[in-house]
Structures are given as structure tokens and as C-alpha cells.
């Protein structure tokens, strides 16, 4: 085998000028960064002199900003044919801060508040007199007043005295606190259909409370998370709009998304077949940032006609009511189901992206199932009508940095579904499931990311033969064990029908590497097993491995994977291909 190696080289950049003089390594590095680099050495002494003078000015500015107010600097040029620009630096003594002085322009804030805000300065006598810290301290003073209700706080020009005899820097801040602001209600300014009373109910404050910028930011977050607005603005009204009670309103401006959106989509997988979706979305139909979605889907595995209504901030902020109904037809290798399904769920947000939810679902339909009888060890066919009532409880904890392309953090999902089945069979059982994923960047800017996933499931209180096929556990496919077809990991019946189980175990590992602009390469290994007792069974593990590519778009990556079964059985394909949006996990 022959190999080809390409070597790319680039000319090393030269410093604009050399730095000479006695100083510590950190200060020297700062000066060198301030001076900067050039692509080529100077071509003549005139050019070298120009560079040396520019370097001197940059070094002097850097030294003054770091508290060195008595430096001695000289620009030097050495050499005739190959001139070298040099800046000779003697930093001199570093000036130190005196105790900062705060002058409160009348009227001052309350005495106890003055002490609280002074603690935010972050400067103390004896610290280096760095200009950036002196400036930042002023910003912290104003921010501290704003957080404590003085929304109009600002700074007059500060006075900084540099004493060359005492080698000190004395900052004096002139702060205008302004009045303590109390809040009124919410004033909605929009031409859209949003109900002003509904927006007012989202405000996390009561009339007369002291202004807190975090409360105003929280109202903005609550409106943005509904997903029905292109733009949301939330701001305190100007001081001249204070009402007779001394309170000021918060002004909300909303820019609505299009009221009707028609979308079409398609999916393809060698494991799960293809599908076409038609989705019609109505936004703000009831004037409370609601979303109504009509869906028609024709697919090899799951076809349906359905409607989904989402009502954010239902009765309390952060709580979403979701109502759904659908007529569906599932045609999998393990079973066929034609049913009507309806569900109602309440989801409560925790923090920014985590939540817990609870609700109830009702399914009624006809099941055509090829099953395995553990007693006779023979396949058996069921054709039965069932009604299934399901309690639904789940929690999702998200500590990752991105919903579609995470590079750091972790996620945890747990759910429990107590279920009662009636009709031609009667059974009560509890279905539980948990999944954890983690993401570890191992290079700067997450150029390479290690990702891992583990998933466990168990059904308690039912028997394999009586539990409906769609409630059993299966494994295999694009979001499971890649390399196997949909439901293809579990043992199979003599007619090649997948056998559903009472327990599940899956684990995955990926290495994701940015390779070129928006492209990312991925290598992965997946493993999984389906068991027939309540506890996971590791005796029938199946393994798959493969590689893929991601093309990163602003909203998330497009994923294409090819995977191979590592312990192929009769009936397994040589490979599987998966195409979707977002990372595999």
C-alpha cells in the first residue's frame, strides 16, 4: 500500500519589535502581545525606526494600564543591511491603589445600601493600580445600585489622582444613585393578538415591589420560551412615566411569528424505512402564545393523522399544558397496531431547560401481534382489541450547553408509566426507563468531544405474553444500537419477528471531531440487549460500530451515519444508514 503525506508550512510571524530590559516574564509577555507581530522583517532602517516608535507607544500604553507610571523607554534600531527594531523597557515601580473614595451625588441612597454597594467595588488599598480594574469598579458600583432597585443609577466622570511621589493611584467615583424605583404592572405594545391580561399574569412581581432587573429578565425569558414570537422586548418605562403612586410600568413589545406555517419533511433510514410529513402550525390562535399543530404522516413504520395543542404558562409561569389526539397505524416487524390515542400532560420547567411532567394517556385500538410463548417455547399470534390507560410521569435534567449539538455537560431523563390494560386481556404493570448522556471536550473550543450514553428499562408486574407489544422494550436503530435494523437487537422468533422484552440495556460511545469548516467526523460503538425478566440481561448483548459525518448549520447539525453489526446473525443486513437532524444523542 502506498501512502501520500501532505505537509503545509507557513512562515513564522516576526515581532514588530524586540523587547529588551529587566522585567518579570508575565509583564514581558503582555508587552510583546501589545506590540504585536508582522509578516516580514523591516526592509530598511527607516521602516525599522517606524516600527520601534510604534512599539514604544504600545508598550507605554500597556505599562500605564498595568500601573507602571514611571517607565523609561527607548526606541532603538540596530544593524545596517538587516536592521532590527528594538524597544528598551525599564518598567519602574508599580503604583498601588489607595482606599477608593465614593462621592454620592445628592440624593444619596440609604446608608445601609451605601455599605452594601461599596462592598461590590472589589478594590482595596495596596492592590496594583491597574486602569482596567479602576474602570470596572465604577461599573460594579452602578450595577450594584441597579440590582437593588435604583434603576436610573449612573456615574458622573470619575477622578483618578496618580501621585508620583507616593507611587499611588487614588480613584474617586461620583455616583448618582437616582430614586428607588417601584414597579407598576405591564404595558403591552403590540399589534398582534396576544392578550394583555395574560402577559401581565406572567410578571414575577407584584405592584409596588422594588425594581429588580432579574425579574424583568425573567419575564422576557418566559415570553421567549413560548416560541411564538420573532422578537421580545421587555424594558422599564422612562422616569417621566411614573404614575401617581410613584410606580413605573414595564413595557413589553412583541413581534409575532407568521400566524400560519405549512411545512413538509421527509426521513430515511435503511433500518426504519422512509416517511413523509405534512405539518400545519397555527401560532397564537387563542391569544396566549399557544401553538396548535396539525400533522399528517405517511411512513413505513408509523403513519398518523393528529393534532397537538400546547398552552405555555398554563395557570402558573413555566407550566405548559399539552393536549394531543391522533389516529395512527404502526406496522413494525414485531406488531401491527391501528388505534386512537389521546393524552394530556402538564410540564413544569425547572431552571432554563430542565423540567418534570405528569399526565395521562388513553389508547384504544386493534393489535395484531406475533408473540413468543415462554411456556410452550412456540410462537403464537394474537389479534385482540385493547383499551390502555397510562399514567405518565417524567423528569429531564439538562446540564449541557446546546440542545442539538452538545459539547460539554450531561443530561438525565427518567420516566415511569403505571399502566392498566382492559379488553380481551386485563393486566396492570409499571414501565420504567432512564437514560443518561455526558459530553467531554478534550481540546480547546471543543474541537474534539467524547460523548457517552447509557439507557436502562424495566417492566414490573406484568408478563411478557400479556403486555401489549408496543409497551415492551425493543432495541436497534438510529437512536439506539446502530448497525441493526429497527427492533433488530432482540432475539427473533422462527418467522424472524423481533421478540419484545421486559428489560433493556443500551450503551454508546462516540468521538466527534471537527475536521473542516462546518464538517465534523464521528466514530462510534453501540451495544444493547433486551431481556425477558425485570432485571437487565447481559447474556445476549449485540454490538455495532461505524462512522459518520455531521454538517453544522446555525440551528444544529445534519447527521449521516453508516454502521455495521459486529456479531451479525442470519437476517441482519451488512450495514445500516441513518440520516437525521441533530446528534445521535
3-state secondary structure 526-576: EEEEEECCCCCCCCCCEEEEEEEEEEEECCEEEEEEEEEECCCCCCCCCCE
Site of grid cell 437532524: 581
2, pLDDT greater than 80: no
The helix/strand/coil state of 224 is: helix
Report whether 486 contacts 333 (CB < 8 A).
yes
Provide mean pLDDT across the span 298-325. 93
* CA dist., res. 25 & res. 569, Å (int): 64
How does residue 272 score in pLDDT terms, banded at 50, 70 and 90?
Answer: low
Q: Within a 10 A sphere around the Cβ of 572, how many other Cβ atoms?
A: 20
pLDDT tens, position by position, 44-90: 999 999 999 999 999 999 999 999 999 999 999 998 888 999 999 99
> What pLDDT was estimated at residue 126?
93
7, pLDDT greater than 50: no
Which of these, 430, 460, 429, lies nearest to 534 by C-alpha position?
460
507, pLDDT greater than 50: yes
Q: How far is CA 153 from CA 87, 145, 210, 234, 324, in A?
A: 44, 6, 14, 19, 49
11, pLDDT greater than 60: no
Contacts of 314 (CB under 8 A, 6+ apart): 320, 321, 346
> What pLDDT was estimated at residue 10?
39
> What pLDDT was estimated at residue 238?
92
Which of these, 349, 348, 351, 326, lies nearest to 339 by C-alpha position?
326
Which of these, 229, 278, 284, lies nearest to 260 by C-alpha position?
284
* 187 phi/psi in degrees, rounded to 5: -110, 115
The Cβ-side half-sphere exposure at 255, using a 13 Å CA radius, reads 4
Sign of torsion over alpha carbons 540, 545, 548, 552: positive
> What pLDDT was estimated at residue 133?
93
Site of grid cell 477622578: 159
> What pLDDT was estimated at residue 12?
53
267, pLDDT greater than 90: no
Sign of torsion over alpha carbons 460, 465, 467, 471: positive
271, pLDDT greater than 60: no
C-alpha gyration radius of the chain: 33
* Residue with more model confidence, 274 or 565: 565
pLDDT tens, position by position, 127-183: 999 999 999 999 999 999 999 999 999 999 999 999 999 999 999 999 999 999 999
3, pLDDT greater than 50: no
> What pLDDT was estimated at residue 81?
82
* CA dist., res. 75 & res. 335, Å (int): 84
Report whether 330 contacts 336 (CB < 8 A).
yes
Please provide the average confidence, as pLDDT, over all residues in the chain.
90
Provide mean pLDDT across the span 420-427. 89
The helix/strand/coil state of 424 is: coil
335, pLDDT greater than 90: no
* 515 phi/psi in degrees, rounded to 5: -115, -35
How does residue 280 score in pLDDT terms, banded at 50, 70 and 90?
Answer: very high
H-run or E-run covering 374: none
4, pLDDT greater than 70: no
Site of grid cell 474541537: 447
Provide mean pLDDT across the span 321-342. 92
What percent of the chain shows pLDDT beyond 70? Answer: 97
pTM over 0.85: no
Provide mean pLDDT across the span 194-201. 93
Provide mean pLDDT across the span 465-470. 88
> What pLDDT was estimated at residue 399?
93
> What pLDDT was estimated at residue 409?
94
**Is residue 219 reached through a cis peptide bond, with omega within 30 degrees of 0 on the bond before it?**
no
Pairing of strands 427-441, 409-423: antiparallel
445, pLDDT greater than 90: no
Structural domains in the chain plus CATH codes: 14-90 (3.10.20), 96-176 (3.10.20.310), 182-256 (3.10.20.310), 313-581 (2.40.160.50)
Residues in the chain: 585
Strands (E), 218-353: 229-236, 247-256, 260-269, 273-283, 291-299, 302-311, 319-331, 335-350
Which three three-digit cell numbers place residue 21?
530590559
494, pLDDT greater than 80: no
The helix/strand/coil state of 136 is: helix
Amino acid at each position: 500500500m502506498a501512502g501520500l503525506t501532505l505537509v503545509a508550512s507557513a512562515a513564522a510571524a516576526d515581532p514588530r519589535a524586540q523587547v529588551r530590559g529587566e522585567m518579570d516574564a508575565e509583564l514581558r509577555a503582555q508587552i510583546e502581545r501589545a506590540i504585536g507581530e508582522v509578516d516580514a522583517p523591516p526592509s530598511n532602517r527607516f521602516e525599522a525606526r517606524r516600527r520601534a516608535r510604534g512599539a514604544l507607544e504600545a508598550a507605554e500604553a500597556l505599562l500605564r494600564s498595568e500601573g507602571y507610571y514611571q517607565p523609561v523607554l527607548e526606541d532603538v534600531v540596530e544593524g545596517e543591511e538587516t536592521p532590527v527594531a528594538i524597544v528598551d523597557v525599564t518598567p519602574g515601580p508599580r503604583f498601588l491603589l489607595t482606599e477608593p473614595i465614593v462621592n454620592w451625588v445628592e440624593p444619596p441612597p440609604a446608608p445601609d445600601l451605601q455599605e452594601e454597594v461599596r462592598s461590590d467595588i472589589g478594590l482595596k488599598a495596596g492592590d496594583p493600580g491597574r486602569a482596567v480594574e479602576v474602570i470596572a469598579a465604577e461599573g460594579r458600583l452602578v450595577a450594584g445600585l441597579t440590582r437593588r432597585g435604583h434603576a436610573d443609577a449612573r456615574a458622573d466622570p470619575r477622578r483618578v489622582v496618580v501621585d508620583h511621589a507616593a507611587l499611588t493611584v487614588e480613584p474617586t467615583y461620583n455616583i448618582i444613585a437616582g430614586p428607588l424605583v417601584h414597579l407598576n404592572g405591564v404595558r403591552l405594545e403590540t399589534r398582534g393578538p396576544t392578550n394583555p391580561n395574560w402577559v401581565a399574569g406572567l410578571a414575577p412581581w407584584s405592584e409596588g415591589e422594588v425594581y429588580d432587573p432579574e425579574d424583568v429578565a425573567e419575564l422576557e425569558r418566559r415570553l421567549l420560551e413560548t416560541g411564538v414570537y420573532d422578537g421580545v422586548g421587555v424594558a422599564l418605562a422612562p422616569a417621566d412615566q411614573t404614575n401617581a403612586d410613584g410606580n413605573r410600568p414595564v413595557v413589553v413589545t412583541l413581534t409575532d411569528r407568521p400566524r400560519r406555517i405549512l411545512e413538509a419533511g421527509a426521513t430515511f433510514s435503511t433500518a426504519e424505512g422512509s416517511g413523509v410529513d405534512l405539518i400545519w402550525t397555527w401560532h397564537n390562535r387563542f391569544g396566549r402564545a399557544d401553538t396548535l399543530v396539525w400533522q399528517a404522516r405517511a411512513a413505513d413504520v408509523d403513519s398518523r393523522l393528529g393534532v397537538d395543542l400546547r398552552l405555555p404558562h398554563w395557570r402558573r409561569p413555566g407550566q405548559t399544558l399539552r393536549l394531543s389526539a391522533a389516529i395512527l397505524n404502526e406496522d413494525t416487524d414485531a406488531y401491527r397496531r391501528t388505534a386512537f390515542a389521546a393524552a394530556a400532560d402538564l410540564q413544569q420547567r425547572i431552571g432554563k431547560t430542565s423540567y418534570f411532567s405528569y399526565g395521562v394517556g388513553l389508547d384504544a385500538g386493534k393489535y395484531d401481534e406475533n408473540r413468543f410463548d415462554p411456556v410452550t417455547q412456540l410462537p403464537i399470534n394474537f389479534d385482540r382489541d385493547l383499551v390502555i390507560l397510562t399514567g405518565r410521569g417524567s423528569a429531564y435534567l439538562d446540564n449541557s450547553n446546546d440542545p442539538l449539538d452538545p459539547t460539554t455537560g450531561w443530561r438525565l431523563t427518567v420516566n415511569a408509566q403505571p399502566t392498566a390494560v382492559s379488553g380481551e386481556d386485563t393486566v396492570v404493570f409499571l414501565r420504567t426507563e432512564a437514560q443518561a448522556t455526558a459530553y467531554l471536550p478534550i481540546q480547546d473550543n471543543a474541537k474534539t468531544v467524547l460523548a457517552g450514553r447509557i439507557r436502562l428499562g424495566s417492566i414490573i408486574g406484568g408478563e411478557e405474553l400479556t403486555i401489549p407489544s408496543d409497551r415492551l422494550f425493543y432495541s436497534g436503530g438510529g437512536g439506539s444500537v446502530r448497525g441493526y435494523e429497527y427492533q433488530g437487537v432482540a432475539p427473533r422468533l422462527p418467522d424472524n419477528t423481533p421478540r419484545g422484552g421486559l428489560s433493556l440495556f443500551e450503551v454508546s460511545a462516540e468521538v466527534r471531531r471537527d475536521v473542516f469548516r462546518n464538517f465534523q467526523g464521528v466514530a462510534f460503538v453501540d451495544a444493547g440487549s433486551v431481556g425477558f425478566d425485570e432485571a437487565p440481561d447481559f447474556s445476549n448483548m449485540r454490538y455495532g460500530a461505524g462512522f459518520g459525518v455531521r454538517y453544522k448549520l446555525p440551528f444544529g447539525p445534519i447527521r449521516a451515519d453508516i454502521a455495521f453489526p459486529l456479531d451479525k446473525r442470519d437476517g441482519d443486513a451488512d450495514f445500516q444508514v441513518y440520516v437525521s437532524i441533530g446528534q445521535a444523542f
